Structure 1
């Protein structure tokens, strides 16, 4: 018996969902930054726009997790993984992952977590408390750990493959998100300095 059954449609649907989610929120958020298309839908209220995309991203995440579980249940089980030691590792992995995800959300708030900076809702200063004190990207690391914990709990090698793919997708997403977010805050700093210079010039006049 093979460790991974690639003939199962549920496996490919799960991988498609994992691919789609970060692609969607990156494209939607970038378009919002440049055109304010979501904000315009809510009559210029950027907070309502951000909350709307937050609900959308959260819902897509639930769908992704459901599809992942369905894919796991249709995959071959590996008896080597079906023991109390591995299940213990699974629990630690899942609990650690959820801790990183939930604590990140608590520290950043809804707008900080769900792309508020693309809507012009910027943080006053960089968040450095836990979990950001131990990880640069705790949301993504936490999500990957949760996938890993689930795959070990269900003793499915396919879950390990999907988890590796999740990390690959997140790594690629970060290469686009990181520089863009840096650009947004750098522009804010430049704009503030320009405003100060203009204000000082007016005082001299």
Structure 2
């Protein structure tokens, strides 16, 4: 592990920016998705839930492009491990929320029929 630390400078602005974007991205879309599910403010702002969803998807895609704009190196490998850890945590946080959305939808469909 010490050989890896010799290849990177944790105070370098690009390294700090990479860590911030890696941690921020899944936190951002999970918080925004839950806020939209509770308030529907994005849907109202965009005039359509579909347009709000597509806009959020484009925003997430652009954030991922920003996050992924780093060269292959030992530092890149370390950041890849960080990405994997953050996304595993994000999935653990997101899964109950997603399951609840699908449960609510199934209940609504069942009541209609």
Tell me which residue corresponds to 1:182: 99
TM-score by length of 1: 0.50
By relative contact order (CA 8 Å, sep 6+), the higher-ranking structure is 2
Q: Which consecutive residues of structure 1, in runs of 5 or more, have no partner in the other structure? A: 73-150, 197-205
Equivalents in 1 of 2:110, 2:100: separation in Å? 15
2:15 is aligned, of 11, 16, 25, to 11
**Greater C-alpha radius of gyration:** 1
Which of 15, 21, 26 does residue 22 from structure 1 map onto? 26
Aligned partner of 2:41 among 33, 37, 43: 37
Q: Give the match for residue 84 of structure 1.
A: none
Aligned match for 2:75, one of 144, 148, 158: 158
Displacement after TM superposition at 1:30 (Å): 0.7
Q: Kindly provide the CA deviation profile for residues 140-196 of structure 1, in whole angstroms up to 9, marking residues without a partner as x.
A: xxxxxxxxxxx3xxxx21112111110110011001111111111111222223333
Instruction: Specify which structure has the higher proportion of helix.
Output: 2
Alpha-carbon deviations, 1:17-36, whole Å to 9, x = none? 11111111111111100100
SS in 2 for 1:4: coil
Equivalent residue in structure 2 for 1:55, among 55, 58, 61 = 58
Measure the CA separation in 1 of the matches of 2:9 and 2:46: 45
Aligned partner of 1:193 in structure 2 is 110
How large is the RMSD of aligned CA atoms in angstroms? 1.6
Task: Work out which of the residue numbers 42, 62, 67 in structure 2 matches 1:64.
Answer: 67
For structure 2, the 5+ residue unaligned runs are: none
- Take 1:12 and 1:40, find their aligned partners in 2: how far apart are those partners? 36
Aligned residues, how many?
Answer: 109
Stretches of 4+ moved more than 6 A in 1?
Answer: none
* Distance in 2 (alpha carbons) for counterparts of 1:64 and 1:165: 12
